[in-house]
Amino acid sequence: MKKLVDRGERVVDDMVAGFLACHAATLEPVPGTPRAVRRRNLMPDAVGVLIGGGSGHEPAFMGLVGEGMADGAAIGNVFASPGVDPILAAIHGVDRGRGVVQIFGNYAGDVMNFGMAAEMAADDGVPVETVLVTDDVASAPSDERQRRRGIAGGLVVFKAAGARAAQGADLEAVAGAARAANDRTRTMGVALAPCVHPGTGQPSFTLGATEVEWGLGIHGEPGVRRGKLMSAADTVDELLTPVLGELAPSRGDRVALLVNGLGATTLMELYILAGDALGRLRERGVETPLVWVGSFVTSMEMAGFSLSVTLLDDELEALLRAPASAPGFSIRG
């Protein structure tokens, strides 16, 4: 697959430089590292919210830094964890004396590197709370949620934490909001075609002309099974069944729905899928006061999408409705 890059070995650094040049009015590099960004004019006397992960998921993670969202993001190579040094620099870069909540997907490299950075920050006098995103129902059974991957539902977790921090809450409360959002969110995705890693030029996996991969991860990790391409409505049913089976919303419950494209799926398709999903939820008597449609947590140019459902209560709904302004996600007040 053709890709528009200048230097294959510097694709991430060039991307970060271009991103910061485009958003220089609101975002800036974290001092001491080329692999982390933060908000300009950070709200004083607030808990810091740091997110991060590998590149290739744009607009996550840099594009989710902004008012009412994350304060900063640490950036790794394509589909790889950020290094300890940029994470540590980012922790210090978003700390305003009240500690930092760091949120990232449950992947071994991220767990190790963010964990080491948190320990080093604590030695420097910065308390850090860690929240793992574990929304992917396909990656482990429900009784082993601690093993699950973090995928598109991370957007909901970041949003809840950013809104709670903007209220001036303390470290424990901001981390608690993030954990509550994660606990109430489930996601499952499907891929129609792979992405191509810019470093290798090779597809992340192969599929037949009419095959799809159910439950894959956002780095191209294998899903739970392969099957034949189906209609949008049937595909939505296939994804919602395990998601709603775990959340078990009752008639009259409220949920947030996130229809997330993986990179190459058109808005035309995503809106068709969203309409089908809303219809299924309506048939169950479930209200959907919050709906987001777009490509927020991608896998470069992978074709496919995921559905995330968040079971709302009054507090979580208020946090998710709060104003936010980031390059990749915004909510007007």
Active site residues: 57, 219
Give strand pairing partners of 254: 287
Q: Is 29 helix (H, G, I), strand (E, B) or coil?
A: strand
Partners of 212 in beta bridges: 227
Please give the Cα distance from 219 to 236 (Å, whole number): 22
Q: Which residues contact 178 (CB under 8 A, 6 or more apart)?
A: 101, 103, 131, 157, 158, 160, 161, 164
Read off φ and ψ for residue 3, nearest 5 degrees: -135, 140
Please say whether the beta carbons of 217 and 151 come within 8 A.
yes
Report the amino acid identity of residue 69: M
- Cβ neighbors of 312 (< 8 A, separation 6 or more) are 184, 253, 254, 255, 256, 289, 290, 320
What b-and-e string marks burial along 190-225, b requiring 16 or more CB atoms within 10 Å of the CB? bbbbbbbbbeeeeebbebeeeebbbbbbbbbbebee
The CA-to-CA distance between both ends of the chain, in Å, stands at: 41
Which residues is 203 bridged to in the sheet? Answer: 196
Q: Does residue 216 contact residue 223 with C-beta atoms inside 8 Å?
A: yes
Residue ranges in 167-231 assigned as alpha helix (H) = 171-183
Cα separation of 112 and 107, whole Å? 9
